[in-house]
């Protein structure tokens, strides 16, 4: 009786950590702070943009913080701010500062296209941001303009320098590989990892509603990417920079950084999945591919407190699927683009 009481008190003080129905610990939340973006990458967003989420439907910083506090109380440790383009959301350092103050949150990172990074890297670092991933698909200015449908390569490169100078490390560069469009730059990207402590991750293009044709014509499997980089020199498996990611890393001898591949289609990484996503309008999304989600905004705006939100989060874990069923050339979700849910 006494020991049962002690157990009860102990479990109230240390609730069981967040896990899904397959016993995967869920410690990582990717938060989309906006669905808007200042680029129109050909594989991600139509040139005219998307039907944007109405502003009142987008979570306020206070609402995001309330959700993260609830998640942290049951074991969440890492958050990544993404979008859309997170740096187009005004006052982002304020959100970073509030998230950094939440007990239990010990890792705050950002995914950005880098266009606005040079201006705010130091302020973000001072607010508590630790790491940054920059998306960059080409090192050629004209090609940047045709792939992203807007100019800006110089600004992105300045953003990378500013992030490193501000101590936002390890810095990862995410490059979506498209056959015939940028796959002739694999060597140039890989070379970046030799002299500087940069981690370049090559990503297989994934299918969303508007890019199925592109996906069919331009998909390059990561096995081919690795084979082609391997022709440049000896490539050894590497631990990489650590972190939460699904990448597998390799490095040239004496390189300061490493190359990685992310293979959502050709190499199943679901068994190691530790993440869920929060859309800009407050839906908890359990898998990037597939419409497994619950609405957190309505209960939050109806007055749900920390424990109720934590209970909703726990409930949500039960519908996280064991694996995605995405196949090349298929689209397994009604989502129009990653920008909607924080890719």
- Residue 25 per-residue DSSP state: B
Q: Which residue has the tokens 């607010």?
A: 127
Q: Find the binder of ligand SAM among 70, 176, 300, 309 (CB under 6 A).
A: 176
User: Beta 258-262 vs 248-251: how paired, if at all?
Assistant: antiparallel
Q: Smaller CB distance to ligand SAM: residue 18 or 45?
A: 45
The residues, ordered by sequence, that sit 6+ positions from 189 with a Cβ below 8 Å of its Cβ are 139, 173, 175, 200, 202, 259
CA 14 to CA 73: how far, in whole Å?
A: 9
Torsion from C-alpha of 86, 87, 89, 95, nearest 10 degrees: 80
User: Rule CB under 6 A: is residue 343 a binding residue for ligand SAM?
Assistant: yes
| Rounded least distance, CB 31 to ligand SAM, Å | 11
Torsion from C-alpha of 298, 299, 301, 305, nearest 10 degrees: -160
Q: Minimal CB distance to ligand SAM: which residue?
A: 343
CA 70 to CA 76: how far, in whole Å?
A: 9
Q: Smaller CB distance to ligand SAM: residue 33 or 190?
A: 33
Residues 232-261 that bind ligand SAM (CB under 6 A): none
Q: Smaller CB distance to ligand SAM: residue 9 or 212?
A: 212
Tokens of 111: 């995914």
Q: Which residue has the tokens 């680029």?
A: 39
CA 311 to CA 78: how far, in whole Å?
A: 19
> What ranges in 25-103 are assigned the alpha helix state H?
61-72, 92-100
User: Rule CB under 6 A: is residue 203 a binding residue for ligand SAM?
Assistant: yes
User: Rule CB under 6 A: is residue 43 a binding residue for ligand SAM?
Assistant: yes
| Rounded least distance, CB 342 to ligand SAM, Å | 7
Q: Find the binder of ligand SAM among 27, 73, 82, 218 (CB under 6 A).
A: 82
CB–CB of 88/39 below 8 Å?
Answer: no
Q: How many residues bind ligand SAM (CB under 6 A)?
A: 20
Q: Find the binder of ligand SAM among 85, 144, 198, 273 (CB under 6 A).
A: 85
- Residue 15 per-residue DSSP state: P
Residues 6-25 that bind ligand SAM (CB under 6 A): none
| Rounded least distance, CB 1 to ligand SAM, Å | 54
User: Rule CB under 6 A: is residue 37 a binding residue for ligand SAM?
Assistant: yes
User: Rule CB under 6 A: is residue 174 a binding residue for ligand SAM?
Assistant: yes
Task: Quickly count: other Cβ atoms within 10 Å of residue 40's Cβ.
Answer: 16
User: Rule CB under 6 A: is residue 83 a binding residue for ligand SAM?
Assistant: yes
Q: Which stretch binds ligand SAM (CB under 6 A): 201-209, 278-286, 305-313, 321-329?
A: 201-209
CB–CB of 82/53 below 8 Å?
Answer: no
| Rounded least distance, CB 33 to ligand SAM, Å | 10
User: Rule CB under 6 A: is residue 206 a binding residue for ligand SAM?
Assistant: yes
| Rounded least distance, CB 160 to ligand SAM, Å | 13
Tokens of 140: 């050629």
Residues 92-151 that bind ligand SAM (CB under 6 A): 111-113, 135
| Rounded least distance, CB 234 to ligand SAM, Å | 28
Q: Which of 198, 204, 175 is nearest to 288 (CA)?
A: 204
User: Rule CB under 6 A: is residue 263 a binding residue for ligand SAM?
Assistant: no
CA atoms within 13 A on the CB side of 148: 25
Q: How many residues does the chain have?
A: 343
User: Rule CB under 6 A: is residue 159 a binding residue for ligand SAM?
Assistant: no
Contacts with ligand SAM by CB under 6 A lie at 37, 43-44, 82-83, 85, 111-113, 135, 174, 176, 203, 205-206, 208, 211, 338-339, 343
């Amino acid at each position: 009786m006494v020991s049962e009481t002690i157990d009860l008190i102990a479990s109230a003080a240390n609730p069981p950590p967040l896990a899904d129905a397959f016993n995967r610990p869920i410690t990582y939340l990717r938060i989309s702070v906006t669905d808007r973006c200042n680029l129109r990458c050909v594989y991600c967003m139509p040139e005219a943009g998307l039907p944007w989420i109405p502003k009142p439907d987008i979570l306020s910083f206070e609402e995001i913080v309330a959700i993260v506090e609830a998640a942290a109380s049951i074991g969440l440790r890492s958050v990544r701010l993404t979008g859309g383009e997170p740096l187009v959301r005004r006052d982002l350092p304020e959100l970073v500062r509030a998230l950094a103050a939440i007990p239990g949150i010990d890792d705050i990172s950002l995914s950005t296209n880098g266009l606005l990074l040079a201006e705010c890297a130091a302020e973000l670092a001072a607010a508590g941001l630790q790491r940054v991933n920059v998306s960059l698909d080409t090192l050629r200015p004209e090609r940047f303009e045709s792939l992203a449908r807007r100019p800006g390569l110089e600004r992105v490169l300045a953003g990378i320098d500013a992030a490193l100078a501000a101590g936002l490390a390890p810095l990862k560069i995410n490059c979506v590989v498209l056959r015939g469009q940028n796959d002739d730059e694999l060597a140039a990207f890989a070379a970046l990892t030799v002299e500087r402590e940069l981690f370049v991750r090559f990503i297989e293009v994934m299918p969303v509603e508007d890019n199925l044709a592109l996906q069919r014509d331009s998909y390059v499997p990561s096995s081919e990417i690795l084979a082609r980089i391997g022709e440049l020199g000896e490539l050894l498996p590497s631990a990489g920079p650590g972190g939460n990611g699904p990448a597998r890393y390799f490095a040239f001898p004496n390189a300061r950084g490493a190359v990685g591949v992310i293979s959502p289609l050709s190499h199943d990484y679901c068994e190691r999945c530790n993440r869920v996503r929060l859309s800009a309008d407050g839906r908890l999304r359990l898998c990037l591919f597939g419409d497994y989600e619950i609405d957190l905004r309505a209960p939050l705006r109806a007055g749900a407190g920390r424990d109720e939100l934590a209970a909703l989060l726990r409930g949500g874990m039960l519908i996280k699927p064991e694996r995605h069923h995405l196949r090349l050339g298929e689209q397994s979700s009604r989502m129009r683009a990653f920008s909607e849910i924080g890719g």
